[in-house]
Amino acid sequence: MPVEQTQLLYRHRNVPGINRLETYVAHGGYEQFRKAVVMDPEAIIEEVKVSGLRGRGGAGFPTHIKWNAFPKNRDVEHYFIINADEGEPGTAKDRDLMNALPHLLVEGCLCSMVAVRAAKCYIYIRGEYIEPWKSVQKAINEAYAAGFLGKNVLGSGLDFDIYTHLGAGAYECGEESALMSSLMGERGMPRLKPPAAPLPMISGVWKRPSVVNNVETAATIPAILELGGAKYAEIGVGSPRSRGTKLFSISGHVNKPGIYEIVLGTPFSEVVDIAGGVRDGHQLKTYIPGGSSMGFAPPTPLDYPFDYEGIPQNTQTLGLGSGGLMIFDETTDVFKVTHRLVDFYHHESCGKCTPCREGLDWLSKIYARIASGGGREQDIDLIWDICDSIRGKSFCALGEGAIWPVMTSLRLFRHEYLSYIHHGRNTYSEAGQLGA
């Protein structure tokens, strides 16, 4: 029996006009905020803790731990910041959510703001996302008009303001400390992390308590308040530490690519089936489970619980990440795909630290040389050495994310590299071979 796919965030995804306040309210919208605004912030954080919610932006860090680190008073301004910079290749869920369900994001922000005692929220949206930005700004304006934003909201004595803020093209601004720099009008470079620096929840943007959460994380809060943390935690068929549902962007060689809300722990093979299966007449060669930084996984095993803990160790990928599942069939030239990713990370490296800046520059040159037929066998060891020089030594996680697709592809598809080195082309993908 396939897992029953409970829909929480996307329950009303296809209701016509659900992007308008009227329709959203007619479907129970803002009821959870009405509840939250009179709740003790600690009680909200407790529900989120019991729910087991983990950040949906990529790192999977428990949300309640971040929120609990805020000062328990309103002596200074607190900031709630939404990461809508979505730039991880393969990830398209936040765009869809903001286009289709902007009020769910606004309500999620409001509930979260009560929990962290913030009166101000900034939604940092990548510069290309004009449509989502307009959609969200329109929802914010409707929420002001309806009295969900503004002064003394619903007679609570609390003020709430939400602002949108457009980025201008820099993948690195998705990294939370770089995002905060960018929000303050600086270059999008990351900052020192705790313990070398104070927690953002103590001193974040403008040296005030701040937290950065992903769009989907905030949009999940109303469902948690509606069901109660305990009921939410019952959803999930895999690990006890992976609870609830998650949005997956499933792309590449599947019959029905799209954004799907999937119960965590659903067997991987079922997840692929939900997207219509590998495209007709083709076979699974490899896949990236959660955005390009997670790396490539082998086509077996397939029947494992797809959640934070379930991805088998033997895949050596970094895990579920942002939920950007990319499927590749036997026609895929994995060397070429990796080359494209190396160039992407090289282009997006912010240049702050040497291992990432220099290492990626070098990798990019080596891949270009191999691709143009000038590769040597020693290049394979050289690629490993460069990865070693970045691994664990980069200032932020971009460097680590850059070498993961490199190392996993080299481990699984070394023969494709050798084919380029010896023949100047990929004889395996040309022949539609899955492996060596």
Partner 1 sequence: MAKFTDDTKRRLDALIARYPTAKAALLPALWVAQEVYGGWLPPEAMQEVADHLGVPASDVAGVATFYTMYNKRPVAHHRIEICQNVACMVNGADELIGYCERKLGIHAGEMTADGTFSVERVECLGACCHAPALMVGSTYYENVTEQTVDKLIAELANMPSESVNPPQSQMPEQGEF
Ligand X SMILES: Cc1cc2nc3c(=O)[nH]c(=O)nc-3n(C[C@H](O)[C@H](O)[C@H](O)COP(=O)(O)O)c2cc1C
Of the pair 130, 197, the CB lying nearest partner 1 is at: 130
Question: Rg of the Cα trace of the chain?
Answer: 22
HSE-CB at 213 with a 13 A cutoff on CA atoms is: 31
Interaction of residue 55 with ligand X, rule CB under 6 A: yes
Residues 306-335 that bind ligand X (CB under 6 A): none
CA-CA distance, 63 to 217, in Å (whole number)? Answer: 8
Interaction of residue 125 with ligand X, rule CB under 6 A: no
- What minimum distance in Å lies between the beta carbon of 123 and partner 1? 12
User: Which span sits near ligand X by CB under 6 A: 10-18, 96-104, 139-147, 166-174?
Assistant: 166-174
Q: Tell the burial category of 303 from Cβ atoms under 10 Å away from its Cβ (0-12, 13-18, 19+).
A: exposed
Q: Are 9 and 104 in contact (CB under 8 A)?
A: yes
Interaction of residue 174 with ligand X, rule CB under 6 A: yes
Q: Which does 174 bind (CB under 5 to 8 A by kind): ligand X, ligand SF4, partner 1, none?
A: ligand X
Of the pair 364, 429, the CB lying nearest ligand SF4 is at: 364
Q: Across 184-335, where does the E strand assignment appear?
A: 210-214, 245-252, 258-263, 284-288, 324-329
Of the pair 232, 367, the CB lying nearest partner 1 is at: 367
User: Which span sits near ligand SF4 by CB under 6 A: 211-219, 311-319, 334-342, 343-351?
Assistant: 343-351
Of the pair 235, 271, the CB lying nearest partner 1 is at: 271
User: Which span sits near ligand X by CB under 6 A: 82-90, 201-209, 234-242, 373-381?
Assistant: 82-90
Interaction of residue 171 with ligand SF4, rule CB under 6 A: no
Interaction of residue 406 with partner 1, rule CB under 8 A: no
Q: Tell the burial category of 263 from Cβ atoms under 10 Å away from its Cβ (0-12, 13-18, 19+).
A: buried
Residues 211-230 that bind ligand X (CB under 6 A): 212-214, 217
Sorted by sequence, the CB contacts under 8 Å of residue 196 that are 6+ apart come out as none
Residue among 277, 397, 415, 434 that touches ligand X (CB under 6 A): 397
Interaction of residue 76 with partner 1, rule CB under 8 A: no
Q: Which amino acid is at 266?
A: T
Residue nearest to ligand SF4 (CB): 356
User: Which span sits near ligand SF4 by CB under 6 A: 35-43, 235-243, 395-403, 407-415?
Assistant: 395-403
CA-CA distance, 299 to 295, in Å (whole number)? Answer: 13
Q: Which does 83 bind (CB under 5 to 8 A by kind): ligand SF4, partner 1, ligand X, none?
A: ligand X
Residue among 172, 176, 216, 333 that touches ligand SF4 (CB under 6 A): 172
Nearest to 426 by CA among 370, 381, 369: 370
- What minimum distance in Å lies between the beta carbon of 81 and ligand X? 9
CA-CA distance, 425 to 422, in Å (whole number)? Answer: 8
Nearest to 8 by CA among 235, 203, 229: 235
Question: ∠116-119-120 over CA atoms, to 5°?
Answer: 100
| Enclosing H/E stretch for 163 | strand 161-166
Q: Which does 57 bind (CB under 5 to 8 A by kind): ligand X, partner 1, ligand SF4, none?
A: ligand X
Sorted by sequence, the CB contacts under 8 Å of residue 31 that are 6+ apart come out as 226
Query: What is the binding site for ligand X (CB under 6 A)?
Result: 55-59, 61, 83, 85-88, 171-172, 174-176, 212-214, 217, 396-398
Query: What is the binding site for ligand SF4 (CB under 6 A)?
Result: 172, 190, 349-353, 356-357, 394-396, 398-399
